[in-house]
Amino acid sequence: MTLRVLTVDDSRTILAMLHHTLSNAGFEVLQAEDGQQGLDVLKTETVDVVITDINMPVMDGIEFIKHVRATGLHQSLPILILTTETSQDKRDQGKAAGGTGWIVKPFDPEKLISVIHRVVH
């Protein structure tokens, strides 16, 4: 069964790299460029895991995660936060909002896939 991943990032570079890595690994990839778009996707699409950036225009990752968790349907949806090595406080904020885990940028493909498998059945 193909797992569906929603990737949310305002950086096209990161979206493209995620897309490349994930689709090579057999995931189906949906994309959104900010939290609001991400929520819109989740209104109509079912995904198995979400990967989201924190710093985004319109709606940032923290708000996005809060909104997702506030929706009854998505309480058990794993959400991975894209963070950098150094942004421990962002990671903590993301976690406090309901983030399941995190992926440190720059990610290597294998690590990315293994982190996803860590939070998805």
Nearer to other proteins, 40 or 110 (CB): 40
Instruction: Answer yes or no whether residue 17 interacts with other proteins by CB under 8 A.
Output: yes
Q: Count residues binding other proteins (CB under 8 A).
A: 50
| Contact residue for other proteins among 25, 66, 113, 119 (CB under 8 A) | 119
- Which among 53, 43, 117 is positioned nearest to 90, based on CA atoms? 53
Distances (CA, A) of 111 to 12, 26, 80, 94, 108: 21, 15, 13, 20, 5
Contacts (CB under 8 A) with other proteins, residues 40-59: 40-41, 44-48, 55-57
How many Cβ atoms sit within 10 Å of the Cβ of residue 78? 19
Selected binder of other proteins within 32, 59, 62, 116 (CB under 8 A): 32
